[in-house]
């Protein structure tokens, strides 16, 4: 048997950089900012810890529901969420308004193309004029899902993201 020291020379086999067993670690007392950060000043507000305050998780859940409801039913869930939460949560208000604006913008695109295509189709008794309706249909089919999913993901992360103006006229704010 050789004379070798124990793996760690500290009490109870602890590493030398750890505090003794049963004692708090060295450093500032609880409630004080860490070393190097002035109390009450610096780059953060000590009431919120590190980083900016975030909205409650409930707000982001309602914001996500505004997009999911729009994908399933139409603009009605976003309208209800907007009317209920508009004075309590800026995050939910923004996303519900954007979801509503997006649905109404797609409806406007469809109605305008419909109003431009149907009269010539009726006058000339030729359905070839209705081919232009494919454009708003594809817009609804492809861009509709892409933007609603993108908006729901950003709302779940509590981020603000504005859709391009062509797809989302700002009617509700």
Per-residue pLDDT band at 35 (split at 50, 70, 90): low
pLDDT at site 5: 54
CA angle 95, 86, 104 (to 5 degrees): 50
Q: How many CB atoms lie within 10 A of CB 33?
A: 16
Residue whose pair of structure tokens reads 């103006």 in the numeric block:
165
pLDDT at site 86: 87
pLDDT at site 65: 93
Per-residue pLDDT band at 8 (split at 50, 70, 90): low
Farthest CA pair distance, the chain: 107
pLDDT at site 96: 92
> In this predicted model, what pLDDT tens digit does every residue of 89-120 receive, in sequence order?
888 999 999 999 888 888 888 899 889 989 99
Mean pLDDT confidence for 11-38? 60
Q: What is the mean pLDDT of the chain?
A: 77
> In this predicted model, what pLDDT tens digit does every residue of 122-151 receive, in sequence order?
998 888 888 888 888 888 788 778 888 999
From first CA to last CA, the distance across the chain in angstroms is: 80
Asked if pLDDT for residue 167 goes beyond 60, the answer is: yes
């Amino acid at each position: 048997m050789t004379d070798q020291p124990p793996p760690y020379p500290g009490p109870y086999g602890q590493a030398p950089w750890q505090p003794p067993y049963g004692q708090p670690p060295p450093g500032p007392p609880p409630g004080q900012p860490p070393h190097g950060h002035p109390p009450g000043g610096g780059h953060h507000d000590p009431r919120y810890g590190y980083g900016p305050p975030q909205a409650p998780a409930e707000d982001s859940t309602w914001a996500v529901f505004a997009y999911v409801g729009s994908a399933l039913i139409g603009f009605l869930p976003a309208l209800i969420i907007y009317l209920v939460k508009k004075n309590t949560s800026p995050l939910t208000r923004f996303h519900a308004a954007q979801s509503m604006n997006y649905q109404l913008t797609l409806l406007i695109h469809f109605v305008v193309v419909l109003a431009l295509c149907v009269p010539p189709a009726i006058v000339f008794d030729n359905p070839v004029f209705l081919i232009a309706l494919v454009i708003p249909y594809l817009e609804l089919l492809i861009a509709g899902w892409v933007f609603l999913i993108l908006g729901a993901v950003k709302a779940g992360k509590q981020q603000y993201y504005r859709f391009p103006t062509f797809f989302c006229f700002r009617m509700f704010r």
